Structure 1
Amino acid sequence: MSVRIELLLVLIFMHVLLTSGQNQDVVYLQALMDDWQNTPPNWVGSDPCGDKWVGITCTGSRVTSITLANIDLSGELSGDIGQLSELQTLDLSYNKRLTGSLTPDIGKLKKLKTLILVGCSFNGPLPDTLGSLPQLGYLALNSNSFTGPIPPSFGNLTELYWLDLADNKLSGRIPVSDGATPGLDLLVNTKHFHFGKNKLSGEIPSQLFSSKMTLKHVLFEDNELTGTIPLTLGLVQNLEVLRLDTNRLSGEVPPNINNLISVNQLFLSNNDLNGRLPNLTGMNVLNHLDMSNNSFEASEIPLWFSSLQSLTTLMMQHTGLQGEVPVDLFSIPQIETVVLRDNKLNGTLDFGATYNTHLRLIDMSNNLISRFILGSRYSADLIFIGNPICMESEESKAYCDQPTGSNSPYSTPPSNCVPANNCSFGQVSSPKCKCSYPYTGTLSFRAPSFSDLGNSTIYTSLQSSMMDSFESNQLPVDSVSLSRPTKNKDDYLEISLEMFPSGDERFNRSGISRIAFVLSNQTYKPPHIFGPYFFIGNNYDSFADTPKGKHGSVSIGIIIGVSVGACVLVLLLIVAGLYACRQKGRAERATKKNSPFASWDPDKGNGACPQLKGARSFTFEELKTCTNNFTATTNIGVGGYGMVYRGTLPNGQLVAIKRAQHHSTQGGLQFKTEIELLSRVHHKNVVSLVGFCFDEDEQMLVYEYIVNGTLKDSLSGRSGFRLDWMRRLKIIVGAARGLQYLHDLADPPIIHRDIKTTNILLDERLNAKVSDFGLSKPMGDVDRTHVTTQVKGTMGYMDPEYYMTQQLTEKSDVYSFGIVMLELITARNPIEKGRYIVREVKEAMDKEKDMYNLGEVLDPIIGLNTQLQGLERFVDIALRCVEDTGNQRPRMSEVVKEIENIMELAGINPNDESTSTSASYEGKSKGHDHPYLNQSLFTYSGGLLPSSADGK
């Protein structure tokens, strides 16, 4: 008997150990879910592996894959993702409402092999920690809004196969190693460098390329790269596609580029390349050649053009060509398009007797052609506009008109059936003539090898290959339709794609996510002639209802197991010891998280319990621990709400904890208002609510710790930072964007009601963050124009129209923001010694004089010895904000746009990141108190405040 009991204890203990990792992953998945909206409806229960949550794949009890592409997720990717230590695949592509910066904690995922975030709205710099993922093989971050440089640490990704950073706002130089730091030249196993459509600058480093590289695609188009094409590029023998077009490259094309015998797409157009045209006779498989709009030496069309037997497209617009066009040029076996416009070609254009019937377009515009000879079977579009022949020959008139463009666009025809004409709203008739709701998007091919967009055969092959791929991957796709093939300004081929569901008229979330994953991770390979591609999916608004899991009857074995477990519970506690206690505490915390306001009492005048969207619940014990029992050394402030403490969470994050006074008459209302509103807002210029505590009769709010005080501190000199004109503009545009987000993008829209310089905080980079939502009001659908409410706020900043009518509008915030703008340039309190800042500025103004004659009222620190570009326009928009009536004031979106224009006028990029740290900026901090020390940060709820400048 004792042996059986021991065996049972061992089994139970092993079960606890095995499920501990699962329980841990559940906690972090729940934390991610708290930061996201519109998660799959079957994300319920406590076991994402056993309950088969959509998009979650497990190995055993650990989460190893998250694929949630194109299901309309919104929110941010929090640092909790870094705790899923077994994660190997993360794909959140095509969720256009996923925003915010990419958390550095993603660098903790040491087993991550695939990271795909294509077509989202992530922004900010790429974290350097991405370079610490030793197993990463596939990194696709294209089509977002990332800024800043490419981290040199990417050179550590020795397993990387695919690197796609295209279509962002990345800037700076391409990093290479220098012995102390890594660089992209170390990525000898990488096949794809897709960096197009960014703002990369500087020369292409010669060190970037070597004979060790295995690159197939080098796509650097549409950047700001300068200098010459490096000679080392000719060493990359595996290269198939090379795009260096639309940069600022100069100098001669290196002659050894002819060694790239595997290249089939070569784009060098729209640069300032000079010297002789390069000889490319070694490129036997070249399909597409574009060297247009460069400054090559004047020369005749080289005879080696005719030796490129695989050529389909020849683009040589504005390249200094002269003399007659060789007859052999039109006999290249596969040639479809020849564009030789804007040159000095002359004489007779003779197509000869053996010209290629594949020809679809010959553009000879703006040359000196005086005569032409056509064969009897010639049928291509021929354009002679701007040639002497159009003035001298009647037979050429048909070719001298402006081209009308292509005929009717291609669209996949029905498959031997009659298209349905009775489809419901939103439905489309599929190629199989069935009404259903298709999943749609755009396929973009960065370098197709053909130019005949009217060739239905190539689209039929594309359609067939897609269906073969979908079927082999067991995806729920019945048919696909392709339509509207067009070339965009980047010379990408764009095709509209519709995918129709099989077995039903709608896709479910799992189906959409699986299809999107096959397209985002390049599992689907199109026919070779289409070249490198990417897909951007559209939102799918017609998801089929996800059936709830069926709960069968409990088996006898389970009942016996539960019974046995109950019988040996005491023994289990003895065996498990402290571990079991820890698990019990975790379970209690989970219960409190699920229902943290069970004890909320609406009869205390605080209304119904808070309605939250994603705030983390802390226990009193957790916050007691992270503040060292709320000791005096961690106390950083006091206000009308209560005490404020600095704390350190277990993950090392610094937080500021506002702890309400017991029996406070205003604490409950402010607690509810701030927690409800801040749990819904996510923006880099709005202070983040980390969580809250409603436990053991405590009410606490946990914020991110903002290290550099309030804007008021900096203007008054208390912080020690010297704010010049450039820095002030960057701060004010950040604050304006935060306020615009509250008005236009928050759901529901929010009126702050207490905008002032003490409620604008500055982080470690001196970026502005709007804070303190204790007086804020959400705008529901029934009160979109105004909210009639008791007047509250801070004297000096308060909208006089709101004060008189008690009708609160978004324009009330605009008025307050105008006061902040005036305070920014004067460093004066709104009301100082009985004088009002608006009146002071207006009385001093003289628009006929330089800087509106405001030298006497401007803050001397702003830099009067320098030219304050845009100051007058800044004052103009500030005074528009403080007009007497709301209908005369601009919206915050207009204010943001005008400040951005002012910054550009001052030579400042409004989208540039702030200084790397505040320590790098002139005037290090004097060790000022934390911003939460300022009592004015805590909102007074007793109506009008004392008549001081900041409400103290």
Structure 2
Amino acid sequence: MGVSPWNIIFLLIVLVQVFVASADTNAQDTSGLNGIAGSWGNKPSNWAGNDPCGDKWIGIICTGNRVTSIRLSSFGLFGTLSGDIQSLTELQYLDLSYNKNLNGPLPSTIGTLSKLQNLILVGCGFTGEIPKEIGQLSNLIFLSLNSNKFTGSIPPSLGGLSKLYWFDLADNQLTGGLPISNATSPGLDNLTSTKHFHFGINQLSGSIPSQIFNSNMKLIHLLLDNNKFSGSIPSTLGLLKTLEVLRFDNNPQLTGPVPTNLKNLTSLAEFHLANCNLTGPLPDLTGMTSLSFVDMSNNSFSPSDVPTWFTASLSLTSLYLENLRIGGEVPQGLFSLPSIQTLRLRGNHLNGTLSILDFSSQLQLVDLRDNDITTVTSAGMTYKKTLMLSGNPYCNQGNDDAHCKASGQSNPALPPYKTTSNCPALPPQCLSTQQLSPNCICSVPYRGTLFFRSPGFSDLGNSSYFIQLEGTMKTKFLSLSLPVDSIAIHDPFVDANNNLEMSLEVYPSGKDQFSEQDISGIGFILSNQTYKPPSNFGPYYFLGQTYSFANGALQTSKSNTNHIPLIVGASVGGAAVIAALLALIICIARRKRSPKQTEDRSQSYVSWDIKSTSTSTAPQVRGARMFSFDELKKVTNNFSEANDIGTGGYGKVYRGTLPTGQLVAVKRSQQGSLQGNLEFRTEIELLSRVHHKNVVSLVGFCFDQGEQMLVYEYVPNGTLKESLTGKSGVRLDWKRRLRVVLGAAKGIAYLHELADPPIIHRDIKSSNVLLDERLNAKVSDFGLSKLLGEDGRGQITTQVKGTMGYLDPEYYMTQQLTDRSDVYSFGVLLLEVITARKPLERGRYVVREVKEAVDRRKDMYGLHELLDPALGASSALAGLEPYVDLALRCVEESGADRPSMGEAVAEIERIAKVAGAGGAAAAESAASDSMSYAASRTPRHPYGGGGGDSASEYSGGGLPSMRVEPK
């Protein structure tokens, strides 16, 4: 018995796929990276070719043949971030930090990267609003968008990021308030696992809602400084028992008393309330034993005497209480606190005698200017560090000692800190691009600025802090195998935003400059907080400078040379296998060709003549308009990225506005598109002849200047698939899902029973069902559709096409296409709607799973574990059992045992009536409810001809020995 030729073809296909996978990057990832690179200037030196993983593109990390990480900080990139980012569906880390000329808005398509864990864009120039679609990134752990130029409000959708650990939006131009959850959207109060809220240096305003804080939160950093908040501090803040750093400073409209229960924050180390308009009594900090830095200067607290907690806070290093009308004598115990470094008590009513009999060796500065002190004991003069007393009666009585003249910072005679150099008296001479490292080696350092948002110390003359910082940072770099010789820090100072700022230089080891790959690693360690500074430095961020890679291209070219034999071998081997495959296919096709197999041949669209009467040349159009290329170029604003609403195997889809004001979606095929000329022509001819509210409308088409484009009505709420997976923002409860499947069923029934001649869609699936503004379903993508013919025959013999998982096994085995093939696909769709699972994934087939799990003796047929949790309580799923019965009838093995689509419509109408989902009023209510989720949503690719399923589409001659249903 001979081997089937089709089996040989199948084995060759498998061999080719395995061979290619071992040598090449996933084609979708390659296309996406090339699209991103096309919108950038100054990209890495080896970004060329079509194998980013195999060629080890700089900054690209792959797992297998899929791109999982992009790390390109400090590369001097300029341009915008292209919407092609959505192609990298396996991406987990995206770090483009410290590229200040990387600008423009973030594409909303970034919200489709469902596996993204780290989104780090620190210190770029991005503008516009933060895309609300980021709230769809359910796996996001690290979100750093600080130090950009973002405007608008904080999207409430970000409150849905349940895994978020680090949340940094600081140093932008954000406005509005802090969003809290309500009946229609999430809010920041939902982020109970987040430990860092860094929102300082913006223009956020309004009151701080009390609902935003709750006892379930794990916050350790709450930074709301340098904004425009008004109203009072909510008492619910006292519920955050884990809080370590709190900054409300520089909110001049923040008023009212400080809640007394803040003393419950016993883990709080840094407490900043300066430069607000807070009233009421001076806060009582008794029991807050972890406090190291307190600044409540320049508020409107009621006059008070020196509080007792002054001398009980043994961890204090820095106490700033300026201009607060505090009276009484300064307690001696304040100067002898074991860790105290700085006391700033200027502009109060401190009076009587000042006596500094005992003081801590750490104490560097005591500022008591502009008080009411009349006497200083002679013993107090033993304190030789900086003591400032000008503006007190003591100095106005003729005393002319140094304390009355002292001003400025602690130890003014000492220069700012600078890393010690180990160079001899005559150091080596370096090139103009180089600098001497602390170890006296000429090299090109990586430079930047460190910002510490709330350090727990104030003595900047204490070199031990900075030496420790240098040491721990170098240790971290070396532990991660980065070639770092030394670290240098210099010129620390406190800036206008009360951040401790200092310059940082990192020097290479064993070479005169870092490679591109080195900078990718160093930048990522600093941008994603891999490096943790000593605890007394507190939270930080880094802004790196662009690094100049003078020799980067040379290093990269050497690396690429190593891949040449592999590339040549892969190309030759691949070509040989493919040539053998093509020869075999041609041979078998000549032997097997039969008149019964009537699949139309594709002809070039440039040969079509719309004015011709020949049906063999021109698409048969009824009412669809023929557009010129220039017309569509104009309505899409030159196919601008801002109008890019999706990408698929065929090309891109653009939103456009016709001169009449009508919104349209323009599907533009690209060279090498998966959608051939036949499919293009088929869709024009079929859609121009059908008109139904549940079938997407074709407005027109274009095949001008070598372009293929289809123009549809604009459908704003994306695909059913996107809604089921949570990517669209449209939430579908049970009643809404029933209305959607009913609409889809009516559209398909129209094609089968009312179109003349009848039409078989051949690719029914969730990504081909669109949802309009009222959540009405519209069947789309007729590129694979077939006419049943004028003779009314119920079946045709044709090459098998469709999408695996939805494909009718009977059609697959016999190549006999009937309207019951669409019914089978619709049955799979019905099961997908209640499970929200892909029909075919990792060997699991939803039809088989449901059939095996169904137990009609149990409530809900025993399907609780398979049902989509988003459907809610089972008690609300009225009509589920007959719905499942219908779905299983639709997926019967034999087409003769399946209902017609007309029968399916009638049954779904009965089920919808039982569930209360029928009627115009219910539909109107559903539409109204949906608007709060999707009124301004931008769909990914709702006209995509398969969109996200394109990789699983099947188009073959039929393999009789194989079944669609997985074993």
Q: Does 1:331 align with 2:336?
A: yes
1:368 maps to a residue whose letter is: D
Structure 2 contact 83–109 (Cα < 8 Å) conserved: yes
Q: Does 1:348 align with 2:353?
A: yes
CA distance 1:182–1:435, shift in 2 (3 Å): same
Specify every segment of 5 or more residues in structure 1 that has no aligned partner in the other structure, as ranges: 578-618, 659-693, 708-915, 921-952
Residue aligned with 2:26, SS? helix
Structure 1 contact 341–365 (Cα < 8 Å) conserved: yes
Segment of structure 1 superposing worse, 464-473 or 403-412: 403-412
Match of 1:76 among 76, 80, 85: 80
Shift of 1:649: 7.1
Structure 1 contact 99–120 (Cα < 8 Å) conserved: yes
Shift of 1:464: 0.3
CA distance 1:576–1:245, shift in 2 (3 Å): farther
Structure 2 contact 24–54 (Cα < 8 Å) conserved: no
Q: Aligned pairs, how many? A: 630
Match of 2:455 among 420, 441, 448: 448
Structure 1 contact 634–645 (Cα < 8 Å) conserved: no
Q: Does 1:131 align with 2:135?
A: yes
2:64 maps to a residue whose letter is: G
Q: Does 1:295 align with 2:300?
A: yes
Structure 1 contact 507–544 (Cα < 8 Å) conserved: no
What do the CA deviations read for 1:912-934 (whole angstroms, capped 9, x no partner)? xxxx9xx99xxxxxxxxxxxxxx
1:435 maps to a residue whose letter is: C
Q: Does 1:469 align with 2:473?
A: no
Aligned to 2:654: 654
Aligned ranges for residues 80-479 of structure 1 at < 5 Å?
80-247=84-251, 248-352=253-357, 354-373=358-377, 374-375=379-380, 377-403=382-408, 406=412, 407-415=414-422, 420-479=427-486
**TM-score when scaled to structure 1?**
0.61
Structure 1 contact 64–88 (Cα < 8 Å) conserved: yes
CA distance 1:528–1:650, shift in 2 (3 Å): closer
Matched residues in 2 for 1:15 and 1:111: separation?
A: 27
Structure 2 contact 338–360 (Cα < 8 Å) conserved: yes
CA distance 1:101–1:220, shift in 2 (3 Å): same
Rg: which structure is higher? 2
Aligned ranges for residues 579-658 of structure 1 at < 5 Å?
653-654=653-654
Shift of 1:449: 0.5
What do the CA deviations read for 1:177-213 (whole angstroms, capped 9, x no partner)? 1232110000000000000001111111111111100
Aligned ranges for residues 534-573 of structure 1 at < 5 Å?
534-546=541-553, 547=555, 548=557, 549-551=560-562, 554=565, 561-562=573-574, 564-565=576-577, 568-570=580-582
What do the CA deviations read for 1:594-619 (whole angstroms, capped 9, x no partner)? xxxxxxxxxxxxxxxxxxxxxxxxx9
CA distance 1:560–1:363, shift in 2 (3 Å): closer
Aligned to 1:898: none
Matched residues in 2 for 1:20 and 1:567: separation?
A: 19
Segment of structure 1 superposing worse, 66-75 or 649-658: 649-658
Shift of 1:13: 4.1
Aligned to 2:871: none
Matched residues in 2 for 1:542 and 1:638: separation?
A: 43
Matched residues in 2 for 1:621 and 1:215: separation?
A: 66
CA distance 1:410–1:644, shift in 2 (3 Å): closer
CA distance 1:153–1:558, shift in 2 (3 Å): closer
CA distance 1:137–1:359, shift in 2 (3 Å): same
CA distance 1:303–1:656, shift in 2 (3 Å): closer
1:188 maps to a residue whose letter is: T
Matched residues in 1 for 2:71 and 2:208: separation?
A: 35
Matched residues in 2 for 1:420 and 1:695: separation?
A: 71
CA distance 1:376–1:366, shift in 2 (3 Å): closer
CA distance 1:323–1:634, shift in 2 (3 Å): farther
CA distance 1:653–1:642, shift in 2 (3 Å): closer
What do the CA deviations read for 1:724-752 (whole angstroms, capped 9, x no partner)? xxxxxxxxxxxxxxxxxxxxxxxxxxxxx
Structure 1 contact 417–432 (Cα < 8 Å) conserved: no
Segment of structure 1 superposing worse, 558-567 or 104-113: 558-567
Residue aligned with 1:196, SS? coil
What do the CA deviations read for 1:676-721 (whole angstroms, capped 9, x no partner)? xxxxxxxxxxxxxxxxxx9996599999x999xxxxxxxxxxxxxx
2:539 maps to a residue whose letter is: P
Matched residues in 2 for 1:256 and 1:450: separation?
A: 25
1:453 maps to a residue whose letter is: L
Matched residues in 2 for 1:697 and 1:152: separation?
A: 45
CA distance 1:576–1:476, shift in 2 (3 Å): farther
Shift of 1:557: 7.5
Matched residues in 2 for 1:166 and 1:182: separation?
A: 21
Shift of 1:644: 5.8
Shift of 1:48: 0.1
Matched residues in 2 for 1:127 and 1:195: separation?
A: 17
Residue aligned with 1:382, SS? strand
What do the CA deviations read for 1:662-688 (whole angstroms, capped 9, x no partner)? xxxxxxxxxxxxxxxxxxxxxxxxxxx
Matched residues in 1 for 2:3 and 2:707: separation?
A: 51
Aligned ranges for residues 816-827 of structure 1 at < 5 Å?
none
Segment of structure 1 superposing worse, 277-286 or 186-195: 277-286
Matched residues in 2 for 1:477 and 1:188: separation?
A: 38
Shift of 1:654: 2.7
Shift of 1:379: 2.3
CA distance 1:404–1:202, shift in 2 (3 Å): closer
Aligned to 1:37: 41
Structure 1 contact 657–701 (Cα < 8 Å) conserved: no
2:463 maps to a residue whose letter is: S
Structure 2 contact 286–309 (Cα < 8 Å) conserved: yes
Q: Does 1:495 align with 2:507?
A: no
Matched residues in 2 for 1:486 and 1:242: separation?
A: 21
Structure 2 contact 20–574 (Cα < 8 Å) conserved: no
Matched residues in 2 for 1:302 and 1:650: separation?
A: 65
Structure 2 contact 318–341 (Cα < 8 Å) conserved: yes
**RMSD across aligned C-alpha pairs, in angstroms?**
3.7
Shift of 1:476: 2.0
Shift of 1:130: 0.7
Shift of 1:396: 2.9
Structure 2 contact 629–705 (Cα < 8 Å) conserved: no
Match of 2:534 among 527, 537, 549: 527
* Seq. identity, %: 44
Structure 1 contact 287–312 (Cα < 8 Å) conserved: yes
Matched residues in 1 for 2:61 and 2:588: separation?
A: 29
Matched residues in 2 for 1:552 and 1:490: separation?
A: 51
Shift of 1:364: 1.0
2:142 maps to a residue whose letter is: Y
Shift of 1:567: 5.2
1:186 maps to a residue whose letter is: N
Segment of structure 1 superposing worse, 449-458 or 564-573: 564-573
CA distance 1:84–1:542, shift in 2 (3 Å): closer
Specify every segment of 5 or more residues in structure 2 that has no aligned partner in the other structure, as ranges: 590-604, 611-617, 640-644, 659-701, 716-931, 937-967
